[in-house]
Amino acid sequence: MCRPTRGAGGETLTQTGMIYHGSCHCGRVAFALEGAVSAAVTCNCSLCARKGAVLSAVPTERFTLLTAPEASAAYTFNSHAIVHRFCRTCGMQPYSEHAGKDAIYINLNCVEEIDRAGIEIVPFDGRAA
Ligand SMILES: [Zn+2]
């Protein structure tokens, strides 16, 4: 297995051919994530603080939704730039979409097989952003 390299942005996904699978709790929302995850953030904004999410930003082309799009509903707030997807059945929020930035924010807590030891998790001051 290739060792992931770090990018300057702190939200980097490298192309090592790895595939991760993530899902909500009940499994009605499931996705595949291609490439290694090397960095993530914990955000202190009003939403993330409540969720306790650990988020890693990836380009949309490395994200594949494996289940029906209508299985999840959308929640937006503040600038409404980020669409937070949550399962209509179990309520878990496994990912968010930032269309303007062509990015998906993966909630790493919903990716079971991921090895946290190789991921740098840094605080992000979303409350101030
Ligand atoms: Zn669910």
- pLDDT tens readout for residues 21-34: 999 999 999 999 99
Judge if pTM exceeds 0.75.
yes
CA of 63 to the centre of ligand 1 (A): 18
Q: What is the pLDDT of residue 113?
A: 86
CA of 26 to the centre of ligand 1 (A): 4
CB-CB contact of 52 with 108 (8 Å): no
Q: Which residues of 65-85 are buried (b: 16+ CB within 10 A; e: fewer)?
A: beeeeebbeeeeeeeeebbbb
- pLDDT tens readout for residues 47-62: 999 999 999 999 999 9
Domain spans of the chain, in order of start: 5-124
pLDDT-derived band at 110, boundaries 50, 70, 90:
very high
For the CA atoms of 117, 119, 120, 121, what is the dihedral angle to 10 degrees?
Answer: -90
Q: What is the pLDDT of residue 105?
A: 96
Residue 107 pLDDT > 60, yes or no?
yes
CA of 93 to the centre of ligand 1 (A): 8
Spell out which residues have Cβ within 5 A of ligand 1, the ion.
24, 26, 28, 87, 89-90
Domain 5-124 CATH class label: mainly beta
What does the alpha-carbon distance between residue 122 and residue 117 come to, in Å, rounded to a whole number?
13
